[in-house]
Amino acid sequence: MRKVHLLAAAIVLAGGNVAAAPAARAQGYSAERLVKSVDLDDLKAIVASLGHTVSEQGKFGEISLSATDAEETNYVLIGTACDANGVPGCQGVMMQVRFDPDESVDSESLARANLSQAAVNTWRDPANGTIGVTRYVVLDHGVTMANLRENVNVLLSLTPSVVDALLEE
């Protein structure tokens, strides 16, 4: 039951006003394109390439969006290290699924979840109790758009097992 609650909370927490994803800039998604930094259009292009829907923009900074996949899981993509060291755009991408606070999830549960899936980090925000699962990609020296897209898939595919570990199911 709590697992359903946590997954439902992810749907609500990252959501917003649902709208179709706007068209990405002319360059759009190209699997082979090497990117050393991203902008909002790049994040939108990744979401669109997955067949997902952008539901909100800018909630977590200028270069950020919330999106929903076919299973109605909400996730966020956040550009980090933006316009740093003379490089335009964001040189990192934080990918997250966030859940409403759940008091039954303690430090031991978070440690168990982190040990269960090394490819993601599971955390709780001490300010508001939000629980999250994060995958972070550094773009230094470049990665392909296909790699960024696959990292979103990894986050979304591992999140259910992280929830299981959090709830000892």
Q: Tell me, what's the pLDDT at 159?
A: 97
What are residue 44's phi and psi, to 5 degrees? -60, -40
Q: Using 50, 70 and 90 to split pLDDT, how confident is the model at 8?
A: very low
Question: Which is it for strands 34-35 and 143-144: parallel, antiparallel or unpaired?
Answer: antiparallel
- pTM, 2 dp: 0.84
Residue-range domain boundaries for the chain: 2-166
Share of the chain above pLDDT 70, in %: 83
Q: How many CA atoms lie within 13 A of 84 on its CB side?
A: 12
Average pLDDT, integer, range 46-70: 97
Q: What share of the chain is helix, strand, coil (3-state, %, to 5)?
A: 30, 25, 40
Report, at the CATH architecture level, how domain 2-166 is classified: 2-Layer Sandwich (3.30)
> Would you call 138 exposed, middle or buried from its count of C-beta atoms within 10 A (0-12, 13-18, 19+)?
exposed
Q: CA-to-CA distance for 80 and 62, rounded, in angstroms?
A: 10
Q: Using 50, 70 and 90 to split pLDDT, how confident is the model at 121?
A: very high
The span from the first CA to the last CA of the chain, in angstroms, equals: 11
